[in-house]
Structure 1
């Protein structure tokens, strides 16, 4: 990332001509907001390459078998983790039945709906707690159906006693890492819908005018960005200058490509939300590439923040969300504790990651998107989900399609002893159900892949009719 010292940036924008030029291109945000964001971004770690590597395992394979689950359960049985006062174990077995009765046909003989597989919600919750308790520092999970809570788990410390003593609960916020991509896709899809633009439309006309378009870059579409099929690969970066250089380098002519996980796809969407949303004119050019990159970076972050707050979070009832930590937000730990890691303000990750939300807030957004017309119509939301916008993939189960979005934020790409980590997961499931899970450590000493754990637990608890 091109780093500009805050005083230098502020001095340049105090110059009447430069400030006026920027102000003339802004709408809905101010020069002062841009400066405030720039100051936060410039305080972030300078080594963009190392900080981007923290997500290198994010889209690792899901494979976690029953033997690994059994090992995690044995760890839980012998765990020395001392639960926090706020921790709860799975609730007693209830009569929660997620199966949906289908309406009988109108007129004539009323036929009963054929039996179909369902999810044993209680079994899922009990098995998940058995796998995670004692294998992680702490976690919280909530499951809803039709927007109503049907199962809740919370376990151990979000902040250990030495770090402020906060137990886990569904209102506790944490860095949700790349589950933020789902938030970005909802915002991007909403904006396209408002502008009556097909997601298959190329993005080139909304990129900054001073950027150079490399071979085939003008064929990249909004949909390709939202599905990681743009041909952009091998960077993982949301650094503004790096994204500009990747567009200048171009992509394969064989678009769309197959799914290739790339953070740049979602960093670019924050730029497109800023220009397509009318926050900044794409012709803004202060005559110096480094200065342009720094100003465009801060401007697009401020615009993205504003658009998501007003058009995604507000309809969902989410307030005062942000990219930074306060004394109540969960810290990252090694699986067995140690000192907490405050990952700091992650504004520079806007678009690709960095939102700090609770499981309730993640579910509020997902439920509002799926079941109301407050963001887009329910039919359009269903289409976006089936197209996997902002999602990693789909598990095809006997119960139905389960769409998933994973997030990991780690100190290092591999998993050495003492690795500290924040993990998140969103599932969009059949029977109008969703699940959100936050974990503030790796799973066990070997960093067992969290999404794989949840996948295996879910598959183990799909109940066949008359089975």
Structure 2
């Protein structure tokens, strides 16, 4: 498998999966308890396998369904909003790899031919001229780094820049609209370079279809419908079908979906008595919740896919952990270069433990704040989280970073790391005991004779031993604690065990030899080590280590003292 620079922290930190899941559970528990959520669904992958799934609340409130509540489940599907962009990025990666096209390639050669006609070009030269800062490549397109001046979604088409410069996050662009904007020069004062725009991904969708179907007639009267249908068809053929996902795609299936029982979108916090609709109720399709239908081709490429968290999490873990969709090298390029994310989104996941990828989406907020909120988190330790809320949970702080429930889940990952000294407790039991020793069964020590182990016995009960103790590495591939005097080890003795790597500069193995023995009866051994020499303030832990060659038992308890006359520490038999 290929190696990505998208790597977890150094091995002096440990990720606690149980803590991460508990933090997610605590959030969802508290939101359920307070009644602030309508419904939610969450799936967590770990190392390419679904590790956790949970859903709660309702997908349709009884007020909107003749008194019948429809519960939320992880296989219920709704509009995933801008999380569609990451799926478009994956599909584009598949198509580019299949046709041996690098992501940093300019798009000009793959646009509809009449758009780039030499005699009557339809595209402004700044977007297609090599070396021009505004030349569009596939990579710029899926990281929102084009200079395309798409107009905003307001009535007067004015720009609607927000915290995340957002010129048209919900605007509806047909292919003729795309062409009209490509014909204009850049306008960096408004909707220009680095702006988050759905239409960048709608243009990516157009390119996908023209790469696969180069003879597609862009001058046909129904070209837009054909282009979108081909995009959906490729999505189904290349991603859905191979993964066994039967999600609706194309005009007929999506219309049928909206005619059944689509998940409603609700306000956040959810208020069961708020039935007021200031907008046209026919557009909201509900009393408490909005039935956010849309044209099947609305924002195709940038939005509109209908998936569950089960579907979405399966696509992501297949993309990240296998080569079914793309090769490792292409996957790594997508991950390492933040493809599918805007420049602002690339800063969402910076933590002391590594940078993760976070993509968020929202569909709606037009019907009294009713909306779907969706989030994807791809972490650098083999963990991915997909969470959907059918209420308008996502808000943004002054730096453009999502806060609220999505922010809590995002921060839970960094809160689940901690520096680990590889310490644990070993309790003797019937299966671990063999005469005067107890076998340690722990992944931090098993199979590694080079580890340095330090032990102390807890004073707990009459089961404690008065025997001097040590450690040894057995022929069975694990470490053991033993009584030096041969006394039988008792059940329920408790030991604190510290495990240190042999290359740690502050830990080492000392062997008593003739040239370092001293004292009456050679009962002491002199330690020479740069961290200890002439350092009376050092804190020292020692544990005797038995080795098969030479076979030496020391039946005495041992201690340490500092010899101020020589400047050396010594180990002594007490």
TM-score by length of 1: 0.67
> Separation in 1 of the partners of 2:23 and 2:309?
17
Is 2:6 aligned against 1:114? no
1:409 aligned to 2:409? no
Q: 1:258 to 1:242 in 2, by over 3 A?
A: closer
Distance 1:450 1:168, change over 3 A: farther
Secondary structure of 2:13 counterpart? coil
The CA distance in 2 between the partners of 1:260 and 1:176, in whole Å, is 21
**Structure 2 vs 1, CA of residues 131 and 380 (structure 1 numbering), >3 Å: closer, same or farther?**
farther
Normalized per residue, the structure richer in strand is 2
1:411 is displaced (CA, Å) by: 4.1
Cross-structure match for 1:46: none
Pairs within 5 Å for 1:417-432: 418-432=368-382
| Partner SS, residue 381 of structure 1 | helix
Q: Corresponding residue for 2:184?
A: 249
Question: Match of 2:96?
Answer: 192
Paired residues of 2:374 and 2:387 also in contact (CA < 8 A): yes
2:143 to 218, 224, 227: 227
Closer/same/farther in 2, CA of residues 431 and 387 from structure 1, 3 Å limit: same
SS of the aligned residue for 1:332 comes to coil
Residues 76-109 of structure 1 deviation map (CA, whole Å, 9 limit, x = unaligned): xxxxxxxxxxxxxxxxxxxxxxx9999xxxxxxx
Instruction: Choose from 197, 215, 224 the match for 1:281.
Output: 215
Residue 452 (str. 1) matches residue 403 (str. 2)? yes
CA shift in 2, pair 1:399/1:225, >3 Å: same
**Local SS of the residue matching 1:143:** strand
Go from structure 1 to structure 2 and tell me whether the alpha carbon gap of 1:283 and 1:302 turns closer, same or farther (over 3 Å shift). closer
Shift in Å, 1:321: 2.8
Pick from 198, 206, 225 the counterpart of residue 298 of structure 1: 225
**Aligned residues of 1:155 and 1:168 also touching (Cα < 8 A):** yes
Question: 2:363, 2:30 → 1: CA distance?
Answer: 21
1:213 aligns with one of 119, 123, 131:
123
Any residues of structure 2 matched to 1:7-156 within 5 Å, and which? 113-118=11-16, 120-130=19-29, 132-133=31-32, 134-156=35-57
CA distance in 2, matches of 1:276, 1:333: 40
In 2, Cα distance between equivalents of 1:403 and 1:450: 13
Query: What is the CA distance between 1:284 and its match in structure 2?
Result: 4.3
Matched residues in 2 for 1:100 and 1:249: separation?
Answer: 44
User: Alignment length, in residue pairs?
Assistant: 344
* Residue 442 (structure 1) aligned to one of 387, 392, 401: 392
Contact 1:443–1:450, Cα closer than 8 Å, also in 2: no
1:298–1:233 Cα change, 3 Å: same
2:281 pairs with 1:330: no
**Distance in 2, Cα, partners of 1:132 & 1:404:** 22
Structure ranking higher on relative contact order (CA contacts 8 Å, 6+ apart): 1
C-alpha distance in 2 between matches for 1:462 and 1:233: 42
CA distance in 2: counterparts of 1:251 and 1:199, whole angstroms: 22
8 Å contact kept, 2:144–2:341? no
Secondary structure of residue in 1 paired with 2:266: strand
Which structure's CA Rg is the greater one?
A: 2
Structure 2 counterpart SS, 1:249: coil
2:244 corresponds, among 303, 308, 317, to: 317
Deviation, structure 1 residue 198 = 1.1
User: Contact between 1:121 and 1:151, CA under 8 Å: does it hold in 2?
Assistant: no
SS in 2 for 1:334: coil
After the TM superposition, which segments of 4 or more aligned residues of structure 1 sit over 4 Å from their partners?
99-102, 446-450
Give the SS at the match of 1:443: coil
Q: Quick check: 340-349 or 308-317, which moved more?
A: 340-349
Contact 2:358 2:376 in 1 (8 A): yes
Deviation at 1:452, TM superposition (A): 2.0
Give, in angstroms, the shift of residue 341 of structure 1: 1.9
C-alpha displacement at 1:363, in angstroms? 0.6
Residues 8 and 354, structure 2, Cα contact 8 Å, conserved in 1:
no
1:217-254 per-residue CA deviation (whole Å, 9 max, x = no partner) reads 2121111111100112453243322211110113369x
Give the equivalent residue in structure 2 for 1:157. 58
Matches of 2:95 and 2:186, distance apart in 1: 25
User: Which secondary structure does the structure 2 equivalent of 1:348 belong to?
Assistant: coil
Q: Measured at CA, do residues 447 and 427 of structure 1 come closer, stay the same or move farther in structure 2, by a change above 3 Å?
A: closer
**What is the SS of the residue equivalent to 1:407?**
strand
Mapped partners of 1:124, 1:260: distance in 2: 33
Partner of 2:324: 374
Q: Deviations over 1:421-466 (max 9, x none)?
A: 111111111221111111111139x899994232344425333224
1:105 aligned residue: none
Q: Distance in 2 between matches of 1:302 and 1:129?
A: 38
Q: Which runs of 5 or more structure 2 residues have no equivalent in the other structure?
A: 1-6, 116-121, 129-134, 152-167, 276-286, 422-574
Q: Which residue of 1 aligns with 2:534?
A: none
Q: Deviations over 1:17-64 (max 9, x none)?
A: xxxxxxxxxxxxxxxxxxxxxxxxxxxxxxxxxxxxxxxxxxxxxxxx
Deviation at 1:329, TM superposition (A): 3.0
How far apart, in 1, do the equivalents of 2:9 and 2:147 lie? 43
**In 2: Cα distance, 1:349 partner to 1:188 partner:** 16
Question: Is 1:364 matched up with 2:268?
Answer: no
2:291 pairs with 1:342 = yes
TM-score by length of 2: 0.55
**Cα–Cα, structure 1 residues 404 and 447, in superposed 2: closer, same or farther, change >3 Å?**
closer
What RMSD over aligned residues (CA atoms) do the two structures have, in Å? 2.9
